[in-house]
Every structure is written in structure tokens, then in C-alpha cells.
Amino acid sequence: MSRKIWLGVGLALLVAIGLGLANYKSIILFLVGNLGKQEIAENQEINWARGPETAPEGERPPNVIVILADDLGMNDISTFGGGIASGLVKTPNIDALAARGANLSQAYAGQATCAPSRAMIMTGRYATRHGFEFTPTPNGMIRILEMFYNDGSRPHPMLRDAEAARNTPPMAEQGLPGSEVTMAEVLKARGYHTVHIGKWHLGDTDEFSANAQGFDESLLMASGLYLPEDHPDVVNAKVDFVPIDRFLWARMQAAAKFNGGPMFAPRGYLTDYYTEESIKVIEANRNRPFLLYLAHWGIHTPLQATRADYDALPEIKDHRLRVYGAMMLALDRSVGKIMAALEAQGLADNTIVVFTSDNGGAGYIGLPEVNKPYRGWKMTFFEGGVRVPMFVAWPGRIPQGTVMSDPVAHIDLMPTLASAAGAATPADRIIDGVDLLPWLTGQRPAQAPHDTLFWRSGYYRAVLHKGWKLQTSDLPRKDWLYNLVADPTEQTNLAQANPQKVAELKALLAAHQAAGRGPLFPNVGSVPVTVDKTLGDAATETDEFVYWPG
């Protein structure tokens, strides 16, 4: 946060003291919002680069579309028999995509928060290889969250390292190193036109932006509102007990940027806008191979839906849940429109479409069923935080209705898509992901793609090895051991009963850590997350919790 804003906050505190501190939070949020806003120009039409007017003769490599949802819980879609509001909100288009190809039924996010997962999708490499381990946050956000979170109402305080904060560069400069080779760079070398639409969150400088990391064109989410708060077609659901949510409402705007240009207003509701622009990209590139990375903001907070989608769910009586469900309608509609556009352009049979989420659903939105039946939330390594849907459709190559039950992860996407495109992955570095095509196309090798998967966020680490999963943390100092084959929802902690298995898995974690590097940037803040309660539920000293660093 700029010096100007903090001077304003300091003045606000002096004023609040004079008022008996009664309204200091409101004053701080007002100043954060009004001093941190930027000028937003009118919407600008995007003139997407066009491929040739006619398709070249002969075979061409498949187009690739990666659709990434944000904070999507396993129970937010109806594919697995659930759905929002006890199944009232169906996701027929996402369900159809899953049925069209392969359902990777034990798929894992690279991390339990968004940005590191995105880095692993792009590179096929663990954060311990490149150091992009913590999620960058807007300038000043951690300090504001600490003020709001530590109000005496919670059993465990949020922790902030002031020295680390002083040594951390601005959010735009916290990026995936340009020396990393991304999916876009790999496919571009194969002759693909590469397009990014939506969230990036991997830095925004000449080294770190999507354009710098291999994308020919980038329509960037430049702030965090789906529509202006006072737009006549929006329905808002503010979550006042969530410090993150209150900061986002105060600070964020509805804004986009194209290829690093000035900020301008999106045309309509953000999910629909990204979808409409994606359809234009598909049409413009129908005669050449392309990569479209559609990184939706939906269904991340702030909770905002179109009035039409909200009105489509009158049977949901809880306002916040109804808005959340309406946001899901827009995301599902996006998938349907993308698939319809491929059909209309005659590209459906030669396009690989991937759908997944960056991590599990967030407990801080106060909706308890988003990750059902799994425990935990975003910002934990329990299954609810890292278990994600992953569907891969490629007609003619991946049989319809394929179910792959082996553990796989985000790191597998880059090498798999490179293999499908006939592109070479970098030979000068370790690629942790595995090409999954032999398993997806029916060859079914006897060996599973992975014996072991790893996660790390500072002092909190996890490993999954041949069905056994260990989480271990320094804060609180505790181990959690589960046999996922017998206990897939992590109900019974076997750490004390099986110290030999704990030691075995800790040795794997130690070797993984020794072979890698530390984080690029320091851990500025750690937030306590109650495993079995949402942030809207009153927590007690006896509730199981973890601290999430970074």
C-alpha cells in the first residue's frame, strides 16, 4: 500500500480515537477504498489477432482450452451427485464435459491457494523448484486483515511479520520467474497462437506478465469486482464477518487490461464477459492451432451475481447461498457456451478441453457444504483444500466416460497437453508432472503416474504416498496421518498410532525439501483456519485448526 494511503489510515485512526474508536473500521475501509482506486476508462473493443482465412491442408495439432475456476469446491458442481444448496443448483454443462471425456476422480491442486497452483499448472513443476510458493496479496492487505481479524472475538490470532512485510516487493513484482518455461511458451514453440483471458496472479511486470510468459494476447483481470457494486443488474452478498471480503469490497473495482494497456471497464458481468471474448478468440483462430487459457474469477468472493441468475433460484431462501448459486450458474453457462462455440466452428473434435479449479472451496464465505464430504477448506492441506475436479475431453482420443482414479495433480497438465500437441517439454530442468495421455487414452500402464505427491506452504507441509497422507506443521506443532484408501474423508488421525509411517513420510518430505529451494518471498502473515467450521461459525479453543502461512 502506498505511503499516501497509510498516511490516510493514520489520520483515520486519530479521528477514530476522537470518536471513541466506534467507527474506526469503517473509516479505514473508506480511506483504503477511496485512496486506492484508479481511473477506469470506458469499455474498449478487443481486436483479437486473426488467423488465416482458410485452414491449411492436412492434419494439425489439437487446439487446447484450459478452463480454470477459482475457489470451486468439490460439492459446488453436480457431477459427483451433489451441487450447491443440497443439489438445487445443477451444473449440466460441466457435467456434460466430464462425461464427454475423462473424469480424473482423485485430482489435486498444486497448492491450497490460488497463485502457486497457477504457477504449477503453467510449468508442471512444484513450487520448491521455482520458489513461487506464497500467494501475493494487494499492497497493505495483510496489515488491514490483521487489524480486523484480531478484534478479540477469535481463539487464535492472525500473525503478521512486520519485517518480512517491509522486505516484500509490491504485488506486481511478486511473480513467477521469467526463467521458468510455461505451457504457453511450450505450445508457442510448436506454432500455437496463445491467448490468456482472466485472472493471472503470477506478477505484472515486463518479466512476469502473461505476455512476458508466452501469451501472444492477454485480457487481464485488473481488479476484483464482477460488476460495479451499484450496477442495476447486480445482486451483492457481503460477508461482513470476513476480513478478506471487507477489504475486497473496499478496494476492488470492475476493471480489465489488454496486453498491458490502460485499465478499462469490462462489458457486463465478468464471467459472461470473459466467455464472450473467449468465443471471439475461438472464431478468430479457427484456422490455426491455439491455446486458450480461460482463468475465471468465478466463484471467488466478492459474491456478486447477475439479477437474472439470482432470480432463477427462488427456491433458495438464504441470500448469500442464493448469490453463490447464481454465480455457479454463470460459470456453468460459460462452459456450455465454449463447447457450443467449438461445435459451431467445426473444432470440437480436434480440441482438448480441460476443466479444473485452483484449489478447494473457501471456509471464509461461511457456506459449510462447498467441499462436502471432505474436511477442510482452501488454505488447508486437508482434502477439502486441495481436492479439485479435473476433466479432460478430447473426442476420438479419450473415450467418453473414462474414469481415472489414480492420484494426479495440476503439475501433470503442462506435460500432458504438450504431449498431445506434439511439443517438447524443457530438457534442461526437472518436470515434476507426468504425461497422462497413456492412462487417458486407454493404454492404462500398470504403474500409477505418481507414487508420491507433495505440498508445501512454509512451515506447513503434506505428502501423499501410496494411499497414505501426512500433514505436518510447526504451528501448531502437530502431525495428521490418514489412510485415504480406508478413510478418504480424513476422519481418523493415525499419527500417534503409527509413528513408523509418520517417520517414513517425513523422510520423503525432507528429501523433497532438500532437493528444492526456499520461497522467493518471505511469509508475511499466517492466518488460523478452523478445519471443521466456516469462518462464520464461532470457533473454540478445542476446535481443530491449522495456521496457513503466506
Contact 200, 293 (CB under 8 A): no
| Spatial separation of the C-alpha atoms in residues 357 and 514, rounded to whole Å | 29
**What crossing angle do the helices spanning 141-149 and 243-251 adopt, rounded to 10°?**
140
Alpha helix segments (H runs only) across 219-286: 243-251, 270-284
Cell triple for 165:
512485510
Catalytic site residue from 156, 196, 201, 512:
201
| Spatial separation of the C-alpha atoms in residues 550 and 182, rounded to whole Å | 23
Cell triple for 375:
474436511
Phi and psi for 457 in degrees, rounded to 5? -135, 95
Q: From the CB of residue 367, how many other CB atoms can be counted at a distance below 10 Å?
A: 24
β-bridge pairing 452-457 and 460-465:
antiparallel
Phi and psi for 390 in degrees, rounded to 5? -150, 115
Q: Is 201 a catalytic residue?
A: yes
**What crossing angle do the helices spanning 24-36 and 243-251 adopt, rounded to 10°?**
40
Contact 134, 458 (CB under 8 A): yes
CA 426 to chain centre: 25
Catalytic site residue from 114, 193, 296, 410:
114
Q: Is 300 a catalytic residue?
A: no
Contact 279, 48 (CB under 8 A): no
Q: Which residues of 227-236 are buried (b: 16+ CB within 10 A; e: fewer)?
A: beeebeebbb
Q: How far apart are the first and last CA of the chain?
A: 17
Cell triple for 61:
495439432
β-bridge pairing 63-69 and 351-357:
parallel
| H or E segment and range at residue 123 | helix 114-123
String of DSSP letters for 135-168: ----TTHHHHHHHHH-SS-SSS--EE-HHHHHTS
* Residue 532 CA: distances (Å) to CA of 285, 286, 373, 381, 539: 46, 47, 11, 13, 10
Residues assigned a catalytic role: 114, 201
